[in-house]
Structure 1
Amino acid sequence: MPTIIYPPTIPWNWMVQRPQQLMKQLSLLGYTVLYEDIGSFTQPSVHKLSDTLYLCQGLSSLSLPHTRPRILWLTFPTHVHLIKQYQPDYVVFDSSDEPKDEFAEWERYLPAMLTQADLVFASSYSLFRQLSLKHPSVHLVPNGVDSQHFSVSQNNPPDLPEGKPIVGYSGAIAPWLDWDLLQKVISQNPAFHFVFIGALIKLTCFPLKADNLSYLGLKSYSLLPSYLQQFKIGLIPFKLTAMTQGCNPIKLYEYAAAGLPIAATPLPELSRSPCPSLYLSSDPAHFSKFLHNALIDPVNKSVRRSFALENDWRKQAEEIHKILQKYYV
């Protein structure tokens, strides 16, 4: 089986996202995955996470003996300069964000990336449609979820507020959240308590304050299910922008795996989604109404979890494996 190298891009244990999930699942399918961690390490080391998954900290994966073909897996267009350094047999560009707005710096690197990539994966239909006009081999592989991780019962975290139904958000606390909408919805709904979990991205502090709001900071991936399972409703309150039109939110699948109804803004990917108990609006009054509708949503949790299971990361990795085989077999 080939070796997949993922160069320093996202810390392995920080806000577990698409790259960590796909690398883990591809390693379970038999690929040797060398994941180069990012951070400050006092001593170079290699951590064997499984027989086929290695975490390289402070050293290059090229220093480890491995089989070929060598696949270089890239997420950011700005990493096109790494291709020559790794001398791969194949280059995969896995596109999960529009190079617009907060990621506008990526746009000038995208043509070079598409020229050098052998294979392109897109996490959303919008990205797939655009990239297909520029590259001959683009495949739609949406985001997913570790269904089992988010469906297992956990203990109630001690820092969650009590006494009111919790409307919760888990993910990046970033400028692309619709803070104006949130401010109005939170003030209009004192019967709910709004909880936000995640790291501050391109922000220096949490933008809102209210008596019925709590920002709990970043939580480890292992603890997230214990929080989500205490939510009554999951939030996806993104602005509708050039960047978010290509966003396929991972939290959609994580909320569903936890059995939650979801209140969200009508991103293109969400408008196309068959996810049950998904309420979409960018109008504060309608959004508030949908929160009350979601609270009494009659759909059984098992139906929502079935949707999540259909979008498990394992299935997404199996689809990728089928496509990769056409290249190296």
Structure 2
Amino acid sequence: MPSTHLPSLLFHRGNRWQGMLRGSTNILAQHFLQAGYPVTWLGRPYHAGHVLFQKNNSHGYRFGSRVERSSDGALEILPFTLAPIIKSARLGARVWAQSARLGYQTICPSLPRLMAEASQPSPRIIWSTGGDADGLLRTFPDAKRIVQCVDVYEAYAGPAQNLLEQHDYRDADAIVAIGEALARYLVRERQVPRDKITVIGQGADLELFATLKPEPPEVANCLRPRLIWVGLLEKADATLMEAALAALPNGEGSLVLLGPEAEWARRLATHDQRVHVIGPRSASVVAACLQHADVGLMLYDRKRDPRQYEGQNPLKLYEMAAAGLPIISTSHEEYRYGTNPALIADTTEEVAAAMHNALGLRDKLACASREFAGANGWSARFVQARALVHALLEDHAPARLTARAV
């Protein structure tokens, strides 16, 4: 049960509390909850258009916010807003930023009312991945605000979101970056003071991988050696993935693809029976699939906007390492700032060579992966996060730089 003596935290990110996609924000929030902190999870706001145009009630949208108490004790709020957030490059950055503030301020019923009705204490800390201007802080003016940056957002949303992002960082009491490369990007491109940034990287769920799970039926018929990818398949480099498959000895083995599908994957599976497109699965099933694989693949499409790889610190690196897999990865800027167990391969020739090493030196590489995971568990990340929260509440962290305004 949450303790009444510990500060209440409101976490905000666009995904569900216990959905298929669980990122660092979910995981840290879960650790706070397990340590006795009252935790509220706020999802992405939706509006009347979502309610009216959803197909067969597929998303469960309705007029009015939904509140659910999870079995683990977290309070999840799926917020309905009266004012749509207008994410439009054509209308420009100021409309985006102002509509974001208004969208969060017109959540209906209001967040304080929803939390009071659920007997949830008002947050003393707001931990979000941004995007709300200062709408949440205006709703809870006595709270401290942490903005967690998990990506180079402009690489996906375009420059129209930049003003909103800059205001998020300016109005925050502290900023968390998921890697050193992203922290340096924020200093260089967003002019964030370095002493306002705390790097809390990705981590490995050591408890999830502590014991060997039964082989999941999803992969039971996949031949060994098994290559495995986890994540959005549209981000993968199809040519490099095919090169890895081609490097399997004697045309044996299989390629297991876990995550939302992409056309290249469906096409490859049609022409090669060794390819198995599984689709998204829960964290526990993904962990079991990784434990029963032989090589982890993180081969990203480098032809995409290169800024996408400047800010990434892929969670799957830590998951594959915790499973004891040899890992083959394309380059990431984050790799420059610390050790990691991956074999780096950016061309088809390098992938073929890495495959030879991954299979031939599997035991040695597996040991290096487990050692890396052991040094980067989520428990250590939580210690950092908790220290930051209490430093803010004790006023041991930088104050907001300016008055809040858009």
Question: What TM-score comes out, normalization by structure 2 length?
Answer: 0.72
- Contact 1:36 / 1:61 at 8 angstroms: preserved in 2? no
Query: Do residues 31 (structure 1) and 37 (structure 2) align?
Result: yes
Q: How do 1:126-141 residues align onto structure 2 when only pairs under 5 Å count?
A: 126-132=181-187, 133-135=191-193, 136-141=195-200
Partner of 2:296: 234
- Contact 1:45 / 1:56 at 8 angstroms: preserved in 2? yes
1:146 to 187, 190, 205: 205
> Does the C-alpha gap of structure 1 residues 286 and 3 become closer, same or farther in structure 2, counting only changes over 3 Å?
same
Q: Secondary structure at the match of 2:152?
A: coil
Query: Which residues of structure 1 form unaligned runs of 5+?
Result: none
Partner of 1:268: 333
Partner of 2:242: 183
Query: Do residues 291 (structure 1) and 355 (structure 2) align?
Result: yes
Partner of 1:10: 15
> Does the C-alpha gap of structure 1 residues 128 and 92 become closer, same or farther in structure 2, counting only changes over 3 Å?
same
Q: Secondary structure at the match of 1:153?
A: coil
- Contact 1:2 / 1:68 at 8 angstroms: preserved in 2? no
**Who wins on radius of gyration, i.e. which is larger?**
2
Query: Do residues 198 (structure 1) and 251 (structure 2) align?
Result: no
Residue 293 of structure 1: how far off its partner (Å): 0.9
Distance 1:238 1:114 in 2: 29
State the 4+ residue runs in structure 1 displaced beyond 6 angstroms: none
Partner of 1:155: 214
Q: Secondary structure at the match of 1:216?
A: strand
After TM superposition, the structure 1 stretch with the greater mean CA deviation from structure 2, 152-161 or 112-121, is 152-161
Distance 2:167 2:35 in 1: 30
Partner of 1:121: 176
- Contact 1:186 / 1:194 at 8 angstroms: preserved in 2? yes
- Structure with more of its chain in strand, by fraction: 1
Distance 2:185 2:222 in 1: 46
Partner of 1:96: 150
Distance 2:31 2:110 in 1: 22
After TM superposition, the structure 1 stretch with the greater mean CA deviation from structure 2, 186-195 or 150-159, is 186-195
Residue 325 of structure 1: how far off its partner (Å): 1.5
Distance 2:127 2:348 in 1: 41
Partner of 1:56: 77
> Does the C-alpha gap of structure 1 residues 67 and 158 become closer, same or farther in structure 2, counting only changes over 3 Å?
closer
Distance 1:55 1:144 in 2: 24
Distance 1:8 1:279 in 2: 32
Partner of 2:308: 243
Count of paired positions: 323
Identity of aligned residues (%): 20
Q: Secondary structure at the match of 2:181?
A: helix
Q: How do 1:275-314 residues align onto structure 2 when only pairs under 5 Å count?
A: 275-276=340-341, 278-297=342-361, 298-299=363-364, 301-314=366-379
> Does the C-alpha gap of structure 1 residues 299 and 95 become closer, same or farther in structure 2, counting only changes over 3 Å?
same
Residue 69 of structure 1: how far off its partner (Å): 5.5
Amino acid across the alignment from 1:170: V
Amino acid across the alignment from 1:280: I
Q: Secondary structure at the match of 1:223?
A: helix
Residue 301 of structure 1: how far off its partner (Å): 4.1
Q: Secondary structure at the match of 1:235?
A: strand
Partner of 2:133: 80
1:71 to 116, 125, 145: 125
Distance 1:147 1:48 in 2: 23
1:46 to 55, 59, 68: 68
- Contact 1:165 / 1:193 at 8 angstroms: preserved in 2? yes
Q: Secondary structure at the match of 1:6?
A: strand
> Does the C-alpha gap of structure 1 residues 266 and 238 become closer, same or farther in structure 2, counting only changes over 3 Å?
same
Distance 2:155 2:267 in 1: 22
Distance 2:373 2:293 in 1: 17
- Contact 1:35 / 1:61 at 8 angstroms: preserved in 2? no
Q: Secondary structure at the match of 2:301?
A: coil
Distance 2:381 2:264 in 1: 35
Residue 292 of structure 1: how far off its partner (Å): 1.9
